[in-house]
Structure 1
């Protein structure tokens, strides 16, 4: 019975891991010939990206629209911002200690002369363009996740003001939400094949290039991510709901983490995160708001990588990475760049452009940290995305109280 229960609980993550392992082995064996498998991965990824925009819009609008008490929405959003910033600052503190002990640019063969500082871009313009679009058609693209979220929240507030879930629009949205999540369930059944094929292509195409001048930075970054996962994640989860929460997190976090690692996309992992939160017992109105917003705003892994990139560039251009002012600016830029990252693969380019711009590095700096960004992306996205589920648990504790998980298990609203 125990074996059957274990298999039932971990069947999908085990199959998912096996798919990725088989894909990685095919990538190593076939090399560049593994690109023949890329279409299978692209089909799965395209299906995930196709469903993500309506899923984010409908789930947030439904969650907000169903709220009779707008104070609860305000409490969720307020605690969300506080949680995202505080966890980002913890990540920043860790990486600042690490880069001062092991500078990532030490002994690199990349040689560039000191460059003149350029004029920084307008942060105001950046924020406007990150939160809004100038045409409704822009809301149809996954490249504008934050504007979609803002528009969905406004839509939900208006639905709530016009009758909420009992109104015709409210009933339609709830039905659409059920339909979309049924579609997500169907698509996720293709994940082991799709992610395995996608990973085979990545390993086959880029594996040999992971060694070189960037090796030191990678040796620093990947173990640091592991330390963060082992120490910070259980600590955050324990705060959220004690040892019961930690055990439930460990049981259900693997699927979204692997999806994010293999696809290098927080957005692609939203459906897996939604399923993990449901099984853990996070209330849907919280997970439906936190997870889509977390896919573009909660990026502890990207904060870790951003400060390593900044320190790397300081070393390359012969500038000392020291001083309270430099550290404070690095933390602010790292968190700000994480807030404007797109959830799509390669979306870190937005944050990297922001780093180069705000610190005034020359254009030559961009390809340097873009390369680092690509090498860091799997681990960074894994931390970013799996951290969203943990953030949802923390926010639930702050919104519903210390005993939220025990109450939901006792009421049957969470799996026993």
Structure 2
């Protein structure tokens, strides 16, 4: 009796939360990366002579040890994305007895995602025009930056439907995976007894995948440490130069969108306390910032939405993966500010019609934007071409885009959770008592694998 009552206390003292460990990993990675940059300025290398061998600090430690750890961590997360999305989405669709309900949920989610994206880029353009981050620079267009042609809306819709679902799985085409999962889930729901047996199998698969998610999340601080240490060997404050104003404008709009726009929408459409929402998004937002990938953060976003926010899995398993694919508010903000910045740098005036075109293009293009690091720059090239701006202007912002990419990913996953709550509440698939409970959810960070193994062995 005594041991049972004291063990949780000793466990809490010994084990730090996932959030705390990730923050420590981030700080340690930034400090180590900055130190390595000081030792190896301007991309140079430092060679140490150990006995009869010359050891390169960059090739052995940065491009070797740290790069291997960071990339293995990211690969492990990406490994989970397709099976997690497919299995959880099939499970969610199976649980919807009324298939007409699925169309209603999808319509609400897509409408909200596109609306928030349009608001985000409109707000970004408005703020950028007021502050004018690129005013006074008269840069001639010289270099060439090639980009692929932006797909039409018709092409985007057609490409959502897979001709070979196994190829979609292998290529990680999330829109096609989502469409196939929806169709497969509907078929299971309509297949009577046979469908019930298959649904039971998918429920078991979902439990196994979630356990794998828990294991990988517990090693996240080490992966975050390696990723940021590698990044900060090349990025420093000096890199920003004249782009510091652009950087601050994008960061300001991202922060305002996450802490003002989303809470206001949540309050207006649900009446819920937005302060609770911001507090409960902490873990997912920090993890999204660390990985700069909405897709890689899907497991944590699902965990937050279902076990902290009170969204039923039948809703979250659909809205969260869908949001990771089509909800690119953070990317839209970057595209809006960057468009104004590049236009001012190259002294090109844009009309109101041009800005409307930017809003529409970025909003619709976000449907086909993959939730992986750096893809926003490719989408920006499409947006710039639509209004006749020199695409080589992208080269100006590449140096600071990685840090902004991390921030806008945190904004994206916050929007995913917000939309999930709104849709769930409108469908009466929302546990408000869980939302109001500050201690709700047995989160990933609290899992004691030693304790679980002991329980399972009994």
Q: Same fold (TM over 0.5)?
A: yes
Q: Which residue matches 2:199?
A: 170
Aligned positions, number: 406
Q: Which residue matches 1:22?
A: 28
Q: Which residue matches 1:237?
A: 266
Consecutive unaligned residues of structure 1, counting only runs of 5 or more, are: none
Alignment of 1:8-407 (within 5 A): 11-31=17-37, 33=58, 35=62, 36-108=65-137, 110-112=139-141, 121-124=150-153, 126-128=155-157, 130-141=159-170, 143-163=172-192, 167-207=196-236, 210-239=239-268, 241-244=270-273, 246-247=275-276, 249-278=277-306, 279-323=308-352, 325-362=353-390, 364-368=392-396, 373-400=401-428, 404-406=430-432
Q: Deviations over 1:141-185 (max 9, x none)?
A: 464111111111111111111138962211111111111111101
Q: Aligned pair in 2 of structure 1 residues 27, 217: CA closer, same or farther (>3 Å)?
A: same
Q: Which residue matches 2:455?
A: none
Give 1:399 shift.
Answer: 2.1
Q: Aligned pair in 2 of structure 1 residues 85, 41: CA closer, same or farther (>3 Å)?
A: same
Which secondary structure does the structure 2 equivalent of 1:342 belong to?
coil
TM-score (norm 2): 0.79
User: Who wins on radius of gyration, i.e. which is larger?
Assistant: 2
Consecutive unaligned residues of structure 2, counting only runs of 5 or more, are: 1-8, 41-57, 443-458
Looking at structure 1, the residues matched to 263 and 391 of structure 2 have their Cα atoms a distance apart, in angstroms, of 40
Bigger drift between 181-190 and 382-391 goes to 382-391
Give 1:65 shift.
Answer: 1.9
Does structure 2 conserve the Cα–Cα contact (< 8 Å) formed by 1:165 and 1:174? Answer: no
Give 1:313 shift.
Answer: 2.9
Give 1:55 shift.
Answer: 0.5
TM-score (norm 1): 0.87
Give 1:410 shift.
Answer: 9.9
Q: Aligned pair in 2 of structure 1 residues 10, 300: CA closer, same or farther (>3 Å)?
A: farther
Give 1:270 shift.
Answer: 0.5
Does structure 2 conserve the Cα–Cα contact (< 8 Å) formed by 1:113 and 1:318? Answer: no
Looking at structure 1, the residues matched to 239 and 179 of structure 2 have their Cα atoms a distance apart, in angstroms, of 38
Does structure 2 conserve the Cα–Cα contact (< 8 Å) formed by 1:341 and 1:350? Answer: no
Looking at structure 1, the residues matched to 226 and 143 of structure 2 have their Cα atoms a distance apart, in angstroms, of 43
Looking at structure 2, the residues matched to 266 and 224 of structure 1 have their Cα atoms a distance apart, in angstroms, of 19
Give 1:311 shift.
Answer: 1.6
